[in-house]
Amino acid sequence: MSAGRGVKSLLASVETSDAGGFTAIASTPTLDRDGEVLASGCFVPLPPSVPVHVAHNLSAGNVIGRAMPFYVGSALHIDATLASTADAQLVRTKLAEGVLDAISVVFRGLEWEQLGGTRTCVRAELLAADVVSIPSQPEARVLSVRGYQPAPKVTVAQAKAAIARARLAMVEHDLAEAKRILATYPERSARRRVAAVLRQL
């Protein structure tokens, strides 16, 4: 890792906060309240993440977080991270208190079949996973909720120490580069240039 990337990584670790989130079952291959079934694996390939809305209000202003979808057996699960905004944190509080506990997916059905007399979606595009009061699938429920973790406050002493470590890392990097040049180019002119650089450190 270069000194520059190390400094950026250090600053990111100092400033990171977690606004909370939740894990949930988002879909199962069982008969839903619409009399349909979303077959196991119908959303493959899964998108890296999908938006989380409230009550299927699919506007940009109603997005309260994003969720990473993944399958556990035949059931689609999500791991959601909520925004730090007041509306998202209100939903997190309701989830933590059990006032809200249901999830409903938003999808675009691409291929349907009649399986055992039931209309079944065998291929679909997953678009969103939303918090709702009454889910289409009774099994689509929140499993756990993460609390809000604010970013730690950085003192002046901690900031100075971080800057000193970053400067030391850059000096060590320059020294290592100088040694590499000396080993690769043993000519007297190259050695003089490196020696001049080292005197400035």
Are 158 and 129 part of one and the same domain?
no
Domain of 41, CATH number, reads: 3.20.16.10
In a 10 Å sphere around its CB, with 0-12 CB exposed, 13-18 middle and 19+ buried, how is residue 110 labelled?
exposed
Among 126, 146, 166, residue at a domain's last position: 146
Are 38 and 100 part of one and the same domain?
yes
Are 130 and 86 part of one and the same domain?
yes
Are 156 and 80 part of one and the same domain?
no
Q: Where are the alpha helices (DSSP H) in 68-155?
A: 86-97
Are 75 and 112 part of one and the same domain?
yes
Are 123 and 182 part of one and the same domain?
no
Are 31 and 128 part of one and the same domain?
yes
Among 131, 146, 161, residue at a domain's last position: 146
Distance CA 135, CA 172 (A): 58
Among 101, 122, 146, residue at a domain's last position: 146
Distance CA 89, CA 95 (A): 10
Q: What is the pLDDT along the chain (201 residues), one digit of tens a residue?
A: 444 554 455 444 445 567 899 999 999 999 999 999 999 999 999 999 999 999 999 999 999 999 999 999 999 999 999 999 999 999 999 999 999 999 999 999 999 999 999 999 999 999 999 999 999 999 999 999 998 666 556 667 766 777 878 777 777 777 777 777 667 666 666 666 666 666 655
Are 74 and 159 part of one and the same domain?
no
Are 116 and 159 part of one and the same domain?
no
CA separation (Å) from 166 to 67, 143, 158?
35, 42, 12
Contact between residue 78 and residue 23 where contact means Cβ atoms under 8 Å apart: yes
Whole-model pTM above 0.75? no
Report how many domains make up the chain.
Answer: 2
CA separation (Å) from 32 to 28, 110, 137, 190, 191?
9, 18, 5, 75, 77
Are 120 and 74 part of one and the same domain?
yes
- Summarize pLDDT for 43-98 with one digit per residue, the tens: 999 999 999 999 999 999 999 999 999 999 999 999 999 999 999 999 999 999 99
Per the DSSP assignment, residues forming a β-bridge with 81 are 21, 66
Residue 21 has which token pair? 């989130």
Are 65 and 128 part of one and the same domain?
yes
DSSP 155: P
Task: Give the structural domain span for 164.
Answer: 3-10+152-200
Are 24 and 86 part of one and the same domain?
yes
